[in-house]
C-alpha cells in the first residue's frame, strides 16, 4: 500500500525535483497549481525508490484518481504499484490527466492493460507566444479590435509587472471586487478558483511566479499570474479582468504575453473546466495545440 501524505509548502523542493526537465506541457505538473487547488482536490503524494506518485480526489468521478508516476522506476513497475494500491484499498483504478504522449508510453509499457475515454473538459489550450503577442491574421481581427477599443476608451492606461507586496494586495482587492460582481457564477463553478488565486498571491514569491497587471488611472482593472512550466512553455494560472471594461481581457492577455512570456515558444492557458463561456473564449484564440487528455481504467480482463 502506498503511504500517501497531503502536500505541504515544505514539500515544494522535493516535488519540483521530479518536474525538472519535464517535457510534458500539462499544467498538472506544477507544484504551485497542485498546492493552490488543495481545497478542492486534497492532493497527496508519495516517493518510492526515486519515483513520484500523486493521488487526488476528483468530484466529477467522485473517486480517488492518480496521475502518471514520474521518476527513476521502470514505468511498468510503478504502474503495477498503483494497481496494487487500488486493490488493497478496494477502490477503482482511475488515472486522469493522461496526455496522448503519456498514453503512448503507458500503453507500450503495459499493453492490453488499460482502456481510456477522452476527457474533453480537461483538454488544455496551448498557443504560440508570438501569436498571442502579435495577434496576426483575419481570425485575430476581433482581438485587435477589442484592444484598440480599450486604448481609445482609456487614454490613461499602462501595464506593470507585479513585483511588490503592495501590488499583490491591490490585485487581491481587485479579485474581491471581481468575485462580488460574479458571485452567482463563482458560487456554482468558480469558488475554488477564487480560493486558489488567493493562495497563489499569498505565496507568490515563494512559488517564484510572474505577474502582470493593467492599470487605468492608477487602478488595477486586470491581472495575470503564471510561471515557467517546461523549457519552452509558460503556463497561465490566473487571468482576471472586469467584464464591463471593453477589451480588458484582450489587453491583459496580449500585454502579459509580450512582457513576461515572450522568451517561451508556447503559452499554456490551461483547461476550460467544462464551462462553455471559457471554452468559447479560449477557442476564439485558435490554439496551436489542443492538448488532449484521457481517463484510464483497467480492462475487465486484467
In contact, 66 and 82? CB cutoff 8 Å: yes
Q: What DSSP state is assigned to residue 186? A: I
If pLDDT is split at 50, 70 and 90, which confidence band does 1 have?
Answer: confident
Q: How many Cβ atoms sit within 10 Å of the Cβ of residue 28?
A: 22
If pLDDT is split at 50, 70 and 90, which confidence band does 184 have?
Answer: low
> Which superfamily, per CATH, for 5-123+293-298?
Gcn5-related N-acetyltransferase (GNAT) (3.40.630.30)
β-bridge partners, 116: 296
Report domain extents, the chain: 5-123+293-298, 124-270
In contact, 265 and 63? CB cutoff 8 Å: no
- Tell me the pLDDT of the chain averaged across its residues: 95
**What's the CA gap between 88 and 132, in Å, rounded?**
48
Segment 13-60, tens digit of pLDDT: 999 999 988 889 999 999 999 999 999 999 999 999 999 999 999 998
Cα separation values, 202 from 35, 37, 174, 212, 245, Å: 12, 13, 15, 15, 27
CATH class given for the domain over 124-270: alpha beta
Of the listed ranges 88-102, 118-132, 175-189, the one predicted with least confidence: 175-189
pLDDT of the residue at 267: 98
Domains 5-123+293-298 and 124-270 share a fold: yes
Segment 61-76, tens digit of pLDDT: 899 999 999 999 999 9
In contact, 261 and 234? CB cutoff 8 Å: yes
Closest Cα partner for 34 from 190, 165, 199?
A: 199
pTM: 0.95
If pLDDT is split at 50, 70 and 90, which confidence band does 181 have?
Answer: confident
Amino acid at each position: 500500500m502506498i503511504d500517501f501524505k497531503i502536500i505541504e509548502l515544505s514539500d515544494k523542493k522535493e516535488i519540483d525535483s521530479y518536474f525538472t526537465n519535464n517535457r510534458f506541457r500539462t499544467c498538472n505538473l506544477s507544484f504551485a497549481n497542485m498546492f493552490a487547488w488543495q481545497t478542492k482536490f486534497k492532493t497527496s503524494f508519495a516517493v518510492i525508490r526515486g519515483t513520484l506518485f500523486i493521488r487526488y480526489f476528483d468530484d466529477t468521478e467522485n473517486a480517488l484518481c492518480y496521475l502518471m508516476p514520474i521518476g527513476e522506476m521502470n514505468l511498468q513497475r510503478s504502474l503495477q504499484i498503483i494497481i496494487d494500491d487500488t486493490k488493497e484499498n478496494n477502490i477503482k483504478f482511475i488515472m486522469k490527466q493522461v496526455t496522448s504522449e503519456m498514453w503512448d508510453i503507458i500503453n507500450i509499457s503495459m499493453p492490453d492493460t488499460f482502456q481510456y475515454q477522452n476527457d474533453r473538459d480537461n483538454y488544455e489550450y496551448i498557443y504560440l507566444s508570438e501569436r498571442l503577442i502579435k495577434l496576426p491574421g483575419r481570425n485575430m481581427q476581433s482581438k485587435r479590435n477589442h484592444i484598440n477599443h480599450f486604448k481609445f476608451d482609456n487614454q490613461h492606461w499602462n501595464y506593470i509587472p507585479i513585483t511588490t507586496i503592495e501590488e499583490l494586495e491591490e490585485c487581491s482587492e481587485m479579485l474581491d471586487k471581481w468575485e462580488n460582481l460574479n458571485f452567482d457564477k463563482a458560487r456554482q463553478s468558480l469558488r475554488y478558483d477564487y480560493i486558489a488565486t488567493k493562495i497563489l498571491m499569498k505565496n507568490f514569491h515563494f512559488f517564484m511566479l510572474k505577474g502582470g497587471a493593467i492599470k487605468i488611472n492608477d487602478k488595477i482593472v486586470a491581472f495575470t499570474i503564471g510561471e515557467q512550466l517546461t523549457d519552452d512553455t509558460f503556463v497561465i494560472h490566473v487571468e482576471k479582468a472586469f467584464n464591463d471594461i471593453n477589451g480588458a481581457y484582450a489587453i491583459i492577455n496580449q500585454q502579459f504575453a509580450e512582457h513576461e512570456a515572450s522568451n517561451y515558444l508556447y503559452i499554456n492557458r490551461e483547461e476550460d473546466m467544462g464551462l462553455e463561456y471559457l471554452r468559447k473564449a479560449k477557442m476564439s484564440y485558435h490554439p496551436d495545440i489542443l492538448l488532449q487528455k484521457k481517463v484510464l481504467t483497467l480492462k475487465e480482463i486484467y
